[in-house]
Amino acid sequence: MQNVAIVTDSISNLPQEMIEKYRITVVPINICFQGEIYRDVLDISSTEAYEMVLKDPDNFSTSPASPGHYLEAFREASRYAKNILCITLSSKLSTGYNIACLAAKQAKDEMGDISTEVMDSENVTAAQGFIALVAAQTAAEGKTFEEVLRIADDMRGRVTFLALLDTVRYVYRTGRVPKIAAQVASRLSIKPILSSSPDGRIRFVGAVRKKESGIDRILRMMRDKVGQGQVHVAVMHAYAPEEAEKLRERVAQEFNCAELWTTEMTPVMGYACGTGTVGIAFYQ
């Protein structure tokens, strides 16, 4: 039995091979379509979910996992570790953190000899994934619970993401932009660039008219942050694998990458961002 097990939610966008290698337990977010509920990744693939979005977006929605789902994940993790660290998406974007905390209290009553800590990643997408991944790698080295917590907390302040949306048309689904404003901006072919904010929210950091210009812009933004140093990078996409591969090639050519992998954004995020979104999560 190892010291620490890592639990996170499917917003983290971690590739399956990493999940399996480091025994990360992933709690699927709920996807609702035409009256049916599917658990992200578990019941439905990202491709299938994106096809649902394109087919009937007005009857597609999402919701957080239940306390029961988190408790189920804690039970699974407790089979091979005596301490559990659950890393959730930003509490400013979802109630997932509060739900996980409720499940942790239930876990304490049920499994008194297992310590369960819930950490707000203050992030989302593969930026959240990097926090969970580094925590899992640290746990795999046999580090103590306190050391894993410290490393995860440090990573929380270092990692960020930049996402280029193909259209602003769908961002009203986040509840933070009026639908009419999104529709007007869409007609102007505005493509926003989003990033994480120190307070755990998502913020607009730029806008372009052409996607090529947007790719150049986000790579310049990353260069401004990391300079010539080594960088760990995840390339993300929402139903746009070919564009993601081109972006990955540029990152590999233009940066000193200690780590570089590609992942498809969960449709839970892609629903709000729109298909065609590409981005990068990174830390130095």
3-state secondary structure 134-190: HHHHHHHCCCCHHHHHHHHHHHHCCCEEEEECCCCCCHHHHCCCCHHHHHHHHHCCC
Token output for 190? 């505005």
pLDDT at 58: 82
Q: Rounded mean pLDDT of 178-182?
A: 42
- Structural fold of domain 160-283: Hypothetical Protein Tm841; Chain: A;domain 3 (3.30.1180)
Distance, CA of 163 to CA of 56 (rounded, Å):
24
The answer, yes or no, to whether residue 180 has pLDDT greater than 70, is no
pLDDT digit string, tens, across residues 78-134: 999 999 999 999 999 899 999 999 999 999 999 988 999 999 999 999 999 999 999
For residues 51 and 95, the answer to whether their CB atoms sit within 8 Å is no
Q: Rounded mean pLDDT of 207-229?
A: 95
Buried-exposed string 97-134: b where 16+ CB fall within 10 A, e elsewhere? bebbbbbbeebeeebeebbbbbbbbbbbbbbbbbbbbb
Q: Where are the domains of the chain?
A: 2-29+64-156, 160-283
Of 17, 9, 164, the closest CA to residue 91 belongs to 9
The answer, yes or no, to whether residue 146 has pLDDT greater than 70, is yes
pLDDT digit string, tens, across residues 32-42: 999 999 999 89
For residues 244 and 235, the answer to whether their CB atoms sit within 8 Å is yes
pLDDT at 132: 98
Could you tell me what percent of the chain has a pLDDT over 70?
92
**Coil vs helix vs strand at 45:** coil
C-alpha torsion 222→224→227→229, nearest 10: -40
Distance, CA of 222 to CA of 60 (rounded, Å):
33
Q: Rounded mean pLDDT of 139-149?
A: 97
Cα→Cα distances 169→76, 152, 176, 188, 281, Å: 40, 35, 13, 10, 23
Mean pLDDT across the chain: 91
Q: Rounded mean pLDDT of 188-214?
A: 87
Q: Rounded mean pLDDT of 67-79?
A: 97
- The structural architecture, per CATH, of the domain 2-29+64-156 is 3-Layer(aba) Sandwich (3.40)
The answer, yes or no, to whether residue 15 has pLDDT greater than 70, is yes
pLDDT at 182: 44
pLDDT at 149: 98
pLDDT at 32: 93
pLDDT at 170: 59
Could you tell me what percent of the chain has a pLDDT over 90?
73
For residues 249 and 195, the answer to whether their CB atoms sit within 8 Å is no
pLDDT at 118: 98
pLDDT at 169: 58
Distance, CA of 238 to CA of 235 (rounded, Å):
11
pLDDT at 273: 81
* pTM of this prediction exceeds 0.85: yes
Distance, CA of 73 to CA of 25 (rounded, Å):
6
pLDDT digit string, tens, across residues 226-282: 999 999 999 999 999 999 999 999 999 999 999 999 999 998 887 778 889 999 999
pLDDT at 184: 42
